[in-house]
């Protein structure tokens, strides 16, 4: 599991002082960075990252407010042949406020096709499989 703390910015809020729902998907993408780094080859540019996003989902289970940090927890739910499911949670003031999933696909840009996750990368991803604490 990975943890990242974000501080909501004023411009991310709406007229009611809530963090806008579109912000959470961006936070969750940022929280996937350690998993992206498993696939990133040193010296390569970001366009060569062999991953694409196939699906995202977010459940908003509480209101998120400006003025208090948010802790993001990220892990791997399962690994398929060419994809893996990332799970996320957002916590503010000790309360679960959002949870989500993202399906990442191992993708060969030159062939424009998915391909199996290589064994050495699968081994790295397996280190992060497990339930996130509730």
If one counts the domains in the chain, the total is 1
Judge whether 134 lies within some domain: no
Per-residue pLDDT tens digits for 61-83: 999 999 999 999 999 999 999 99
Judge whether 54 lies within some domain: yes
Average pLDDT across the chain, whole number: 92
Judge whether 73 lies within some domain: yes
Judge whether 52 lies within some domain: yes
What per-residue string of b and e applies to 27-62 under the rule 16 or more CB within 10 Å gives b? Answer: bbeebbeebeebbbeeeeeeeeebbeeeebebeeee
Domain that holds residue 52: 2-126
Q: What CATH number is given to the structural domain containing 62?
A: 3.10.129.10
Judge whether 38 lies within some domain: yes
pLDDT of residue 44: 66
Per-residue pLDDT tens digits for 102-129: 999 999 888 989 999 999 999 999 999 9
Higher local confidence (pLDDT), 15 or 95? 95
Judge whether 78 lies within some domain: yes
pTM (two decimals)? 0.91
């Amino acid at each position: 599991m990975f943890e990242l703390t974000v501080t909501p910015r004023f411009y991310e809020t709406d007229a009611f002082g809530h963090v806008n729902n579109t912000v959470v998907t961006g936070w969750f993408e940022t929280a996937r960075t350690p998993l992206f780094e498993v696939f990133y080859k040193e010296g390569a540019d970001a366009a060569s990252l062999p991953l694409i996003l196939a699906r995202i989902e977010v459940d908003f289970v509480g209101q998120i407010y400006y003025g208090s940090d948010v802790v993001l927890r990220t892990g791997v739910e399962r690994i398929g042949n060419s994809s893996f499911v990332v799970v996320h949670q957002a916590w503010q003031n000790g309360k679960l406020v959002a949870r989500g999933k993202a399906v990442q696909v191992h993708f060969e840009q030159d062939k424009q096709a998915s391909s199996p996750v290589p064994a050495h990368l699968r081994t790295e991803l397996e280190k992060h499989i497990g339930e996130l604490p509730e």
